[in-house]
A = this chain, B = another copy of it.
């Protein structure tokens, strides 16, 4: 497939790096201010060098990407809430041109799922978004394989930064601010960690799952989710949890009543009690029974692998 990658952060760059190994060619890549376009395939090494040294991927205007002869748009710009712009506009442009779209950006599928379906219905293009939920862990693929109607419940640890902080607080009896600073130093937390620690990121992933499970009967958005973060958990709460054979985790849940995210007490021997930045999802399936899918929920190469799996599925 001929790929156009919009967004040249760690995910977009990893797709550029991996695409040729999977038999795809990148005909365009854009960052916020420039684009590199070549119908014969851009020179990945040269683009990565230019981005590292000059801070931009190319010399063309970003809009030139949409003029490239691409089959699939890879939307890897940062997730935004509400109108989900500019990501939603990129998706809209590709679908109106009857191209396929593969998303790493959670905004369009979490915040504007209904609008997205209208665009899909009027397009020859298809939309896939395994990469929006927990990196390469095959959550959307497994729901698709057994059918959304088979899924009666979803519960998971969907934010690695929050889980790292909770794990460290519990194991070392350290205060939240101390562990957050440590996570930022290690690169596990961003300079502005709000979306990770206030539950927004985990909630967006749950909203995406909820939208798929609802099969069009109902549309979910972040605003309707019941979300509590981990900022207010005192160190003493971790000690009390441990005394009871439990641990505190930021758990996301998708159920009949919608999406709920918040700190929950989890037995120490529960599969959901993963440590560090690990993510895990428990799917309850009618015929197939409960299933646990776990792995790295974030990271450039991991997320790119999920995008490429979606691209391969579109190519079949």
Contacts and interface: CB of A to CB of B under 8 A. Distances in A.
| Copies assembled | 2
A267 interface: no
A122 interface: no
B285 A136 contact: yes
A113 B26 CA distance: 36
A138 B138 contact: yes
Interface residues of A, number: 35
A303 to B, nearest CB: 9
A302 to B, nearest CB: 5
B305 A288 contact: yes
Nearest to A18: B287
A271 interface: yes
Contact of A302 (B137, B289, B293): B289
A183 to B, nearest CB: 19
A46 interface: no
B295 A289 contact: yes
A129 to B, nearest CB: 14
Interface of A: 14, 18, 22, 135-138, 141-142, 145-147, 150, 271, 280, 285, 287-296, 299, 301-302, 304-306, 309, 312-313
